A = this chain, B = another copy of it.
Amino acid sequence: MADLTLADNDLLKRAFLRIQQDVDVRFDAFLPIPSDSRARLVEAMRYATIGGGKRVRPLLTVATAALFNVSRDAAVRAGCAVEAIHAYSLIHDDLPCMDDDTLRHGKPTVHLAFDEATAVLAGDSLHALAFEVLSMPETSGDPFVRAEMVAALAEASGFSGMAGGQMMDIAAEGADFDLHTITRLQQLKTGALLGAAVELGAILGRLPDESRGNLRNYARDIGLAFQITDDLLDVEGDEDAAGKALRKDDKAGKATFVSLMGADDARRQVGALIDQAIGHLAIYGSEADLLRALARFIQNRDR
CB pair B132–A155 under 8 Å, yes or no, is yes
Q: Which of A73-123 contact B (CB under 8 A)?
A: 88-89, 92, 95, 97-98, 115-118, 120-121, 123
A127 at the interface (CB under 8 A from B): yes
A172: B residues at CB distance < 8 A: 37
- Per-position 1/0 for A126-140, Cβ under 8 A of B: 011101101110000
A150 at the interface (CB under 8 A from B): yes
Q: Is the CB of B116 within 8 A of A97?
A: yes
Q: Which residues of B contact A146 (CB under 8 A)?
A: 143, 147, 150
Q: Which residue of B lies closest to A115 (CB)?
A: B97
Whole-angstrom distance between the Cβ of A128 and the nearest chain B Cβ = 3
Would A41 and B143 count as touching, CB distance under 8 A?
Answer: no
A69 to chain B, nearest CB (A): 22
- A22 contacts chain B at the CB level, 8 A cutoff: no
- Describe A's contact surface by its main secondary structure: helix
List B contacts of A158 (CB < 8 A): 124-125, 127-129, 132
Q: How far, in whole Å, are A148 and B115 apart by their CA atoms in the complex?
A: 34
Number of copies: 2
Q: Are B129 and A166 in contact (CB under 8 A)?
A: no
State A171–B37 Cα separation when bound (angstroms): 6
In the complex, which residue of chain B has the Cβ closest to the Cβ of A150?
B135
* Closest beta carbon of chain B to A209's beta carbon, Å: 12
A154 beta carbon closer than 8 Å to chain B: yes
Q: Please give the number of chain A residues whose Cβ is less than 8 angstroms from any Cβ of chain B in the complex.
A: 57
Are A125 and B41 interface neighbours, CB within 8 A? Answer: no
Q: Is the CB of A154 within 8 A of B167?
A: no
- In the complex with contacts A135-B147, A143-B147, A38-B168 CB distance below 8 A: yes
- Whether the Cβ atoms of A117 and B143 lie closer than 8 Å is no
Is A151 part of the binding interface, using a Cβ–Cβ cutoff of 8 Å?
yes
Task: Tell me the A162-189 residues at the B interface (CB within 8 Å).
Answer: 163-164, 166-168, 170-172, 175, 181, 184
Where the two chains meet, the residues of A that have a C-beta atom closer than 8 Å to any C-beta of B are 31, 34, 36-38, 40-42, 45, 88-89, 92, 95, 97-98, 115-118, 120-121, 123-125, 127-129, 131-132, 134-136, 143-144, 146-148, 150-151, 153-155, 157-159, 161, 163-164, 166-168, 170-172, 175, 181, 184
Give 16 new A-B contacts, CB below 8 A, not counting A128-B158, A143-B143. Answer: A37-B171, A37-B172, A38-B164, A88-B124, A95-B120, A121-B163, A123-B124, A124-B127, A124-B157, A124-B158, A128-B155, A128-B157, A128-B163, A131-B153, A135-B151, A135-B154
Question: Could you name 23 residue pairs across A and B whose Cβ atoms are closer than 8 Å?
Answer: A37-B171, A38-B167, A38-B168, A42-B159, A88-B124, A92-B120, A118-B167, A120-B120, A124-B157, A124-B163, A125-B158, A125-B164, A128-B157, A128-B159, A129-B154, A131-B150, A132-B155, A135-B148, A143-B144, A143-B148, A146-B147, A147-B147, A150-B150
